[in-house]
């Protein structure tokens, strides 16, 4: 998939665990784990907004595009 999720990198920089992020964002650890591993097929803008708010980042910090060859 050409869209890569960099959630794990941002979490390490912010020294935040998946459990802590889950509690602050208000979504399950299972759903966050799916997103973090890059297996999510979609993300709601409201969820993306909350993750960005909690991690103090921009959507472009979390998602990147890698062109497939």
Query: What CATH number is given to the structural domain containing 24?
Result: 1.10.260.40
Q: List the structure tokens of 11.
A: 């979490």
Q: Which residues pair with 63 in a beta bridge?
A: 5
CA 16/CA 39 separation, integer angstroms: 21
pLDDT of res. 8: 94
Which residues form the domain of 57? 3-65
pLDDT of res. 69: 75
Cα–Cα nearest to 11, from 46, 45, 57, 43: 57
- In order along its 69 residues, the chain shows pLDDT tens digits of 689 999 999 999 999 999 999 999 999 999 999 999 989 999 999 999 999 999 999 999 999 998 877
pLDDT of res. 1: 65
pLDDT of res. 67: 86
Cα–Cα nearest to 29, from 46, 7, 12: 7
Name the domain count of the chain.
Answer: 1
pTM, two decimal places: 0.88
């Amino acid at each position: 998939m050409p869209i890569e999720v960099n959630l794990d990198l941002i979490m390490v920089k912010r020294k935040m665990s998946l459990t802590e992020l889950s509690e602050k964002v208000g979504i399950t650890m299972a759903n966050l784990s799916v997103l973090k591993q890059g297996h999510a097929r979609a993300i709601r803008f409201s969820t993306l907004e909350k993750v960005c708010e909690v991690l103090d980042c921009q959507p472009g910090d979390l998602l990147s595009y890698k062109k497939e060859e």
